[in-house]
Every structure is written in structure tokens, then in C-alpha cells.
Amino acid sequence: MTDPVNWDVALKVARQLLARRVPMDPEARAELAASFAAVTRRAEELVAAETGLRSTAGPARGEVVDRSRWVEVNIASFRRLLAPVGERLANGSAAARRALSPASRAGAGVEVGALLYWMSGRVLGQYDLLLDDSDGADGGDCVYFVGENIVSIEREHDFPPEQFRLWIALHEVTHRMQFTGVPWMRGYFLGLVERGIQSSPPDARAVLESLRRAAGELRAGRNPLADGGVVGLFATSEQLATLREAQALMSLLEGHGDVVMSKAARSEVPEADRFAATLHERRGAARGATKVLQQLIGIESKLRQYAEGETFLEAVAAAGGDDLVGRLWESPAMLPNLDEIREPRLWIDRVQPAGRATAEVGRGAGGS
């Protein structure tokens, strides 16, 4: 067995923890499924009109799942993601192979199961690029919506359901459009993931150097977990370079998702600003152990991706309109690096020299 995690243990732990929660009523879940089938179709129409992108994978399918099913989907995703790690451990040193012992695999399963249980109570929607659902009956792949979490927020904040559900769908369908409407994006992203996973794991000297670097960050008043959580803390220099590429890409995609969601929602989601303000407040409200956990697993850095990516896109649109934004989708060479995400003028100067007109590729982050 080369899996570094006992996935059966992970699923069992998550399900045992979830058993304490009251499941969604079947009738309410059926109503929610019908609602999301409709809003997903409408979201795809609005996103296509706003971005000019067209999916090559058929129409989007919106599937309402409970927390247990969300855990199952993500275990399948993690299993695929970590398969190369297990193979490398199996072919590595004796110390590396010890990570594949039954006890180590079971311990990892407990940790992953507990983490997925915690996350399952926070996620609203997800488009999972690592799972290939393209063999579905209608030829499309799947956008997941976690029913209990969505209904809970609607009730807590008195959100009008149809507006809120369309608003959520707009963001997730935008992510799907990014990967199925930009021909090279899926392969580029998966290659980035594969490169990060196949990088050599840090040795004892690298771990010691990472701890010294973290201590220096703390003395300088900076959070050493800010850029990637514990993964970023112990990554080798090669892994850090890949991590920065991934952070830049995800900042762009998350920011683009928020920009498109805001613009596409203008005509049909009058309360979009209230939804955004409420969820922004929830994102920043973590305290104590929850905040520490978010830092450890990199959620804190993900939350910054939304803001940094949105600021970058706004600056690009202000400098060159939809034509300049559209250049982002021309090729991987046109993607901004992390420095350019944080200083948009660097990217603008790189791709738009003085006196040069920009070519139109789609309509970028938005239309009028």
C-alpha cells in the first residue's frame, strides 16, 4: 500500500464527527437541488455574457451535497493529489518508507478526517478541478453546493434564497469557466500541482533552516505562516518557487471570480453587496484556535488572495479596460507573478509597452 493516508480511516473519522449533526430534511434537500439546478444554468449564462468565455466541457451541473458527501468528494480529490507522494515514499529511504507503516497511515487518516470535518461546516460551494466528472450523462462536470451550510447562512442572516444561491453559483461557475473556457488553464494548473508534489521533501537541514527563517520573520513582526501556512513554512526553495506561482495564479482566479460575480450579479441580485459584506465579515471573524488552524492550513493566505486578486484586476481594467484584462488568458506567459499581483503596474508595463495596442481576447473580467 503506497497511500500515505489511510483514506478509510479518514472517512470514518469525519463521518463519526458528522454524526452529531442533524441531517438535512430530504424534502428540503430536494427543493434545494431543484433551486440550484436552475441557478447554475442561469449563472453560466451570466458568466459567459460577462467574460466572453465559453466552456468546452458542456453545460455546468450543480449538485447539492451534504457535508458527508462533500468529505467523500474531497477524499477522492486528495487521494489523487497525493498518489505520487506515496509512490516516492515507497521507493525512497527506509525513513521515508516508515511513513507508509500502518500506524503512520492511520494517524494521518485521523488528522485528515478531523480536518475535513471542520472544513465541511464552512464551505458553501466548490468546483473541484482534480476530479474529472466529464463522463456525466449530460457531458458536463460538476459544481458542488453544501446544502446545510447554505441554508444555515440564509436563515441566520435572513438572505433571500434565490438571490443568495445565484450569487454563490456565479462565483463557482466562474471558476469552472476559467478552467473549461481557457484552453490551456487546466493543464497548466495540474502541471503546477504535479511539480509541487514531486519536488524533493525537505531534509533535516532544510527544516532547521525553515525554523530559523520563521524566527526571523517573527522578530521582524511578520507572520511566518502568512504565505501558505505550514506547507510554506517547511517548503524547500524549489517548492517555495512553485508555491509562489500557485499563489499568484490562485489570487488571479479568486479575484477574477469575485469581480465577475459582482458584475454579473448587478441585474439579478440586488442584495449582492449585503451578501459580500456579511461573508467578508465572517471570513475575518475567526478567533483563537480557529484562527490558528486557518493559519496552519493556509486559509489565511487564501483569504488574502481574494483581496489581492480583485485589486490587481481593478488596476488592470482601469489601465486598459476589458481588452487588457483579456490578455491574461492568452497564454501562461501572460500570467502575473506574485510580485505583479501585489504591484499591478509591473504586469501592466510588461504586457502593455507604451504605444502598443492590446489585442482583444474574450472580454476579461467583465463587460458593461
Which residues, in sequence order, are CB contacts of 93 under 8 Å at separation 6+? Answer: none
List phi, psi (to 5°) of 335.
Answer: -70, 145
pLDDT value for 297: 43
Top pLDDT among 15 and 4 is at: 15
pLDDT value for 25: 87
| Distance (Å, whole) CA 191 – CA 193 | 5
| Distance (Å, whole) CA 81 – CA 91 | 18
Q: Count Cβ neighbours within 10 Å for each residue of 229-239 and write b for 16 or more, e otherwise.
A: bebbbbbbeeb
Largest Cα–Cα distance of the chain, in whole Å?
Answer: 64
pLDDT of 168 > 80? The answer is yes
- Summarize pLDDT for 82-91 with one digit per residue, the tens: 777 767 767 7
Q: Locate cell 499568484: which residue? A: 248
pLDDT value for 89: 67
Cell readout for 80 is: 489523487
Q: Are strands 142-146 and 61-65 parallel, antiparallel or unpaired?
A: parallel
pLDDT of 214 > 70? The answer is no
Top pLDDT among 302 and 253 is at: 253
Cβ atoms of residues 326 and 334 within 8 Å? no
Helix (H, G, I), strand (E, B) or coil at 20: coil
The H helix count followed by the E strand count for the chain is 16, 3
- Summarize pLDDT for 91-146 with one digit per residue, the tens: 766 766 676 788 888 998 998 899 889 889 989 999 977 655 443 433 347 899 99
Average pLDDT of the residues of the chain: 79
User: Which structural domains are found in the chain, ordered by start?
Assistant: 1-181 (1.20.150.30), 184-368 (no CATH)
What distance lies between CA 92 and its chain's CA centroid? 31
Q: Locate cell 489565511: which residue? A: 300
pLDDT of 350 > 60? The answer is yes
- Summarize pLDDT for 13-70 with one digit per residue, the tens: 999 999 988 888 889 999 999 999 999 999 999 999 999 999 988 899 899 999 999 9
| Distance (Å, whole) CA 71 – CA 81 | 15
Cell readout for 299 is: 486559509
Amino acid at 314: E
- Summarize pLDDT for 300-313 with one digit per residue, the tens: 455 566 788 999 99
- Residues 158-187, mean pLDDT to the nearest whole number: 95
Q: How far is CA 367 from CA 78, 280, 317, in A?
A: 36, 24, 10
- The residues with which 358 forms a beta bridge, in sequence order, are none
How many beta carbons lie within 10 A of that of residue 219, not counting itself? 8
**Helix (H) or strand (E) run with residue 64 in it:** strand 61-65
pLDDT value for 295: 44
Q: pLDDT confidence of 357, banded at 50, 70, 90?
A: very low
Q: Of 197, 236, 6, 21, whose CA–CA distance to 110 is shortest?
A: 6
